[in-house]
Each structure stands twice: as structure tokens, then as C-alpha cells.
Structure 1
């Protein structure tokens, strides 16, 4: 919190302004009195010896003007003080100081609103700067891991005594690390576009059930690799939303369900039209504790460390931002060693059933 010093230059200008008003009023009074004195009424005043009355009036005016000058100086100074604080604080913000806030208050509603809005703006800028710094730090860390793997395996490949089996293993690890870097770059770009609101939501009618079904088909190899069963119950539904953006949602959520499911378990995928359009994805895997559930939508957060070699903790952040753009909600239920259930809800006004 800061209270800025009163700048001398501004107060000199205020003083000159008030003094000019005083001189102007005094000259105006003298002019009026001079005009009056040359009129018959003025001559009558002189003949009746009421110069003392005139002198009293002029003296009273001068005294009251001096008093009003000091009063105006004080109140005008108080009026301008919040503006001075706002001006000085704005200059500091322009130089990158986002920890500042204005303590001064004003009795003028419009000026007080400006001060409150400024303080709120600085708070948000401070949050953004913190997130930005954390984001850069996390991205740097995420890049280091696959790059280290690539470097170490290149050193192994350079060995003349390496066997074909070891060579193939190193090549596979290099390819996996390159895929991880590619995914990270892609997700960082998506996050950046979503943060900067550079994503235009292009809504149209499309078959939501068919979109989810197609996403499941695209993940067939990964499903079969873990010998997973599928329990699919998708009501036919036409949704009015952004088809391209929502495809990223289903891909992320289904990929996570596969990733965290135990082998030979079942993944449930359901679509129902009730008061809302509800999509539910259920896995029977490692699940999450309460602490993990609080943070899973945060950037780079990964609660279950045994799977951290896959992914980079940005998927659910992207999911949340996309669903916000599409006016949808996401909820999560989970229990350790029993699995997780993600529920996505769309307004029923944006859909229609084919039944």
C-alpha cells in the first residue's frame, strides 16, 4: 500500500488558480463600485456620507475572499490528492511494479470507482505475472527431462560395442522423448492461445455421440495394449457448440482414463440427455486423494507420480479452459485405488435428441 507525496508543482498551480480567482473578483468589485459612483445613486451615497459603509463592504469582501482562498486551497488539494496518487501509481505500474495499490479514497463516486478499478487491475496483473513466471519455470523443467534422456541415449548409441537390442531400446526412448517434447510444445501453444483469448469459438450443430465414439476408435491401440474393456452407452445427441475444441476435451479425458486405469479393468463412457447434456467418463484405476483433486486442473500438476513419464500436466488445464469457452462445467469424483469419474455438463438449450 502506498500514499504518494503531494507534488509541489501541482499545489503551486492550485495556489495560482485560487489567487487569480481572488484578484479577478476584487477587480470586478472595484469596477462595479466605480460604475456605481458615477451614477446618480453613487452621488447620493457620497452626499449622504456613507463612504464608511462602502469601505466596510469592501473590507468585508477582501477579508472573506482571503479566507475563502485558504479554504479553497485546502479542499482543492484534498480533491486532487487521489488523482495524484492514481497518476504516480500508474507510472510505477508502467515500469513493471504490480505490487502497488492506492490507499487514498475519494468522496467523488466516479473517482473512487477509478481507484477501486485500478487496485483490482493491479491485483490481476500481479497474479498474471506470477503465473507467467511459474509457467516459464515449469516449461523449462519439462523440456530438460526429455532432452536429458535424448542426450544420454545418443551417448549410448555412439558406443561401438552396443548390441542391436540396446540400440533399438535407445532409439525407442529417443522417439518417446521427442514425442513428449512435441506434445509439450503443442499444449503450451494451446494454453497460450486460450489465455490470450485468441481462440474463436465456432459453434455449429454436430453429433456429440458420434464425436465421442470416433475419439474412442482413435485410441483403440492404447485400449488394447492394457487389455481394457469398454462400457459405452451414448444417447444420440445433437449439440450446438465448437466441435473442434471439444474433440480435445474427449481426447484428453479418455487418454487420462486409459493412462490411469489398471490393466484388465473397465472404462465407462456415458452420454445422457436429462435437464442437461451429461457426459461421464469413469475409470477403475489408481484414483486420487483429496489433495490431488484440489489441484488437478492447475498447470503442470501431476498427482500420480508413477505415470509422470507420460504427459506434462497441461491436459486438464486445456480441458477446463475449453469447457469455459463452450459454457460447460466439469466435475470430478475420485477415490484412491478405486478410480475416477469425470462429469461434463452442457446446457440442454444447446442440444437436441434424435429420439
Structure 2
């Protein structure tokens, strides 16, 4: 979309309520007043009583006032209110990260008014923002992809060093290298995964499977962590709950939510996993007794690279919950969070029993 030239902007109508409209109103009111005078003269000739001479003009002007009010209301709604409402909805979509928004023009190119120009500038801004977002995602994906090979070499040599005889200091260095490369590998994996999900390059592979069994396997995968931190585990779920979803992607959801729960729960705390079914959905709750979150942190927890508690920044990369949200959006699911600082958090995932995945509908 091209920006308007100076000459085009100079030709834009500066008012959406032209002077001709008010002239029409003036003429109509003059005509109506003339008709009113005619009514008075007619009733006088017909020798109507005084009450009728008062009531009829009042009813006449009431009808006129109602007509003009309705016409003005409709004109204002079509000309100003509806375009502004459209603009407000589009702005909200952009604020939520949707850069595919487009507001269609209201008039032809030679009859633009200042609202048309505002919409055109808005569309241009969104287009530029979308281009920047695409460039940013492509840059992150390309850099991450290029880092995979040298990172694999470092990891391989670090693993080879671990098999040789080393001093305690050397072992400490090797462990630091291994830990750093593992965190970097996790970051690269998450960036590439999230980029593919956002650009819809991953095909959903929905299948019917037992969610309860998957949840059991996921929580057992953290057994060493809960034993090390002496965390109490509480599990409550049905014997079986069959859903239709992409099993591999849903495993990413549960692993991220449980990983966060164990990460932020202090030694001696408790993590609970609850699953139950309602009429049209399966609900999973992951609750912890960790540090909790403030309302300011809750607003940003699903943002990429955001980490509210920096004391655990070396244990993650701020992409886990962004991945969770995108996967659930693709799977027609939802996630909500409630948290109290110092008491813990509850993440609630709701999945429809009969899913209509985004992948099925859009063939991504």
C-alpha cells in the first residue's frame, strides 16, 4: 500500500458532515414551518375547537422532530460511529499481535475524507509492523538454525572430555560448558518450534489417545526433581479421558506447565495435577505452592522471552508459556492463570472433547 502524496492529502475532504447537509436541514425546517402555518390557517377556516388547534400542531412537530432525530442518528452512526467502532476493533487486534488486520476504504480514491486517510495510514502502519515482525521471526529462526551445527560440535567435544581423566577443576569447567550448551540447545529448539507454530509450518497430526496416561507419563518424567526437592505430589484424575489432539504437541504443553510448577516450588512444597471432564471439555489443572505472581507479571507471562522471576532465569528462556499458548490456540483449547504472590499459581487448561483443530480447518 502506497502512502498518499501531499497533493492527494490536500484534496481530502476535511469534514464528514458537509455544509450542504446543514443547508438541506435549514430548507426542510423552513418548509415544515410553512406547512405548520398552513395547518393553523386551515384549522381556523374549518373552525376547529381550540384544543384541536393546539394538539394537531404539537403532533405535527413531534413527528417532524422524531423523523429528524432518527435520520440524524442513522447518518451519524453510518458516517462516524461505525467507522470508529471498526477502528477500535482493529486496534485491539493489532495490540493482541495480529498484523493481518485490514480496514477497507469507505470511499473511492477521488472522494476520500479524513477518516479514509486515517484508515489508510492505519493499514500502512499495520503492514509495516507485520513486515518487521516477519523479519524479526525470520532472523531469529535463521540465526538459531545456523547455531545448531557449531553447538552440536561443542556438545560432542564436551561429552568426549567427560570420558577422559580430568582434575576436579577441569571437570567443573566441562560441566559448565555442558550446562551452557544444553540451555542454548533448549533455547534454539524452542525458538524454531515457536517460529514454525506461529508461521503455521507445522502440520497438526490429531489422533485419539488417552490424556490421563499422557499426564501420568509427563509427571513421572519429573520424579528425580520432586525427590531431590522433597516436593509432595498430589494427583487426581479419571481412569481414562480420550481426546483428539496432536499427542506430541500436547506433551510439550504438559511438560512446560509441570516444569514451571517444580521450578518455582520451594523444597518441601507441593505440586498437584488435577484432571476432570465437564459436559463438552476436558479440564487439566496444574497447581503449585511456589512464589506466585503479581498482577503485573500475570499480564506478560505468555509474552516471548518474558521472565517475571529473574532468580530462575538460568533455568529457562521465557519461551515455554508462549509455546503452550500457541499450541492450545491451534488445538481450540484455552489456558487461564490465577496466582497469589507468596502462595502459588494455578494453570487451568481446557480442551474440547470434539476438537476442530486449526490445522484441520486451515490445512496449515
Place the TM-score, normalised by the shorter chain, in its bin: 0.5 to 0.7
- Displacement of 1:127 in angstroms is 3.0
The 8 Å contact of residues 249 and 319 in structure 1, kept in 2 or not, is answered as: yes
Pairing 1:41-60 to 2, within 5 Å after superposition:
none
The 8 Å contact of residues 243 and 354 in structure 2, kept in 1 or not, is answered as: no
- Provide TM-score, normalisation by structure 1: 0.59
Q: Following the alignment from structure 1 to structure 2, what is the Cα–Cα distance between the partners of residues 102 and 211?
A: 44
The 8 Å contact of residues 2 and 102 in structure 1, kept in 2 or not, is answered as: no
Pairing 1:112-151 to 2, within 5 Å after superposition:
122-131=124-133
Judged with a 3 Å threshold, the aligned counterparts in structure 2 of structure 1 residues 329 and 263 are, in CA distance, closer, same or farther, namely same
Q: Following the alignment from structure 2 to structure 1, what is the Cα–Cα distance between the partners of residues 7 and 350?
A: 55
CA offsets, 1:199-236, max 9 Å, x none? 11121110001011111112212222211111001112
- Provide TM-score, normalisation by structure 2: 0.58
In the comparison of the two structures, how many residue pairs are matched?
A: 240
Pairing 1:295-306 to 2, within 5 Å after superposition:
295-306=300-311
- Displacement of 1:241 in angstroms is 1.3
CA offsets, 1:134-173, max 9 Å, x none? 66589989x9xxx9xx9xxx9xx9xxxxx93322222111
Q: Following the alignment from structure 2 to structure 1, what is the Cα–Cα distance between the partners of residues 4 and 106?
A: 10
Judged with a 3 Å threshold, the aligned counterparts in structure 2 of structure 1 residues 178 and 331 are, in CA distance, closer, same or farther, namely same
Aligned match of 1:211: 214
Aligned match of 1:240: 244
Aligned match of 1:47: none
Aligned match of 1:321: 326
Judged with a 3 Å threshold, the aligned counterparts in structure 2 of structure 1 residues 123 and 2 are, in CA distance, closer, same or farther, namely closer
Q: Following the alignment from structure 2 to structure 1, what is the Cα–Cα distance between the partners of residues 292 and 104?
A: 47
Pairing 1:161-310 to 2, within 5 Å after superposition:
164-235=167-238, 236-275=240-279, 276-310=281-315
Unaligned runs of 5+ residues in structure 1 are 8-97, 158-162
The 8 Å contact of residues 3 and 104 in structure 1, kept in 2 or not, is answered as: no
SS class of match (2:306): coil
Aligned match of 2:57: none
Calculate the aligned-residue CA RMSD, in Å. Answer: 3.7
Aligned match of 2:344: 339
The 8 Å contact of residues 204 and 242 in structure 1, kept in 2 or not, is answered as: yes
Q: Following the alignment from structure 2 to structure 1, what is the Cα–Cα distance between the partners of residues 143 and 354?
A: 43
Looking at CA atoms only, which structure, 1 or 2, has the larger radius of gyration?
A: 1
